């Protein structure tokens, strides 16, 4: 069993495409910097449905200690420092997945 972490972001009014691109550039680097990440995906909402969040991140890890290592990793925290001023809302969940 592993854990999947899903984070959803809703950007504040006025967030620019360039700001989102800067977040994506930073997120792209995390799998190479955080060895606990088994799988990692992220992207902007495709605007197919209404009421969706603007952006999502999905991270798979082996277990709770690996999730904590990812969550607290300095490189992840540096990305969050860029994201937080852009946030209107955030939702997250962690759940068990089969390996």
**CATH of residue 32:** 3.30.70.100
For all residues of the chain together, what is the average pLDDT? 97
> Does the reported pTM lie above 0.85?
yes
How many structural domains comprise the chain?
1
| Residue span of the structural domain in which 27 resides | 3-96
Residues of the chain by 3-state class (helix, strand, coil), percent to 5? 40, 35, 25
Distance from C-alpha of 24 to C-alpha of 27, rounded to nearest angstrom: 5
65-99 per-position pLDDT tens digit: 999 999 999 999 999 999 999 999 999 999 999 97
């Amino acid at each position: 069993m592993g854990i999947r972490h899903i984070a959803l972001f809703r950007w504040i009014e006025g967030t620019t495409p360039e700001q989102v691109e800067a977040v994506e550039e930073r997120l792209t680097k995390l799998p190479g910097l955080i060895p606990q990440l088994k799988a990692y995906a992220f992207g902007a909402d495709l605007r197919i449905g209404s009421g969706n969040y603007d952006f999502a991140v999905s991270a798979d890890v082996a277990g709770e200690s690996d999730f904590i290592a990812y969550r607290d990793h300095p490189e992840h925290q540096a990305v969050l420092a860029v994201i937080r001023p852009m946030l209107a809302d955030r939702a997250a969940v962690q759940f068990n997945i089969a390996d």
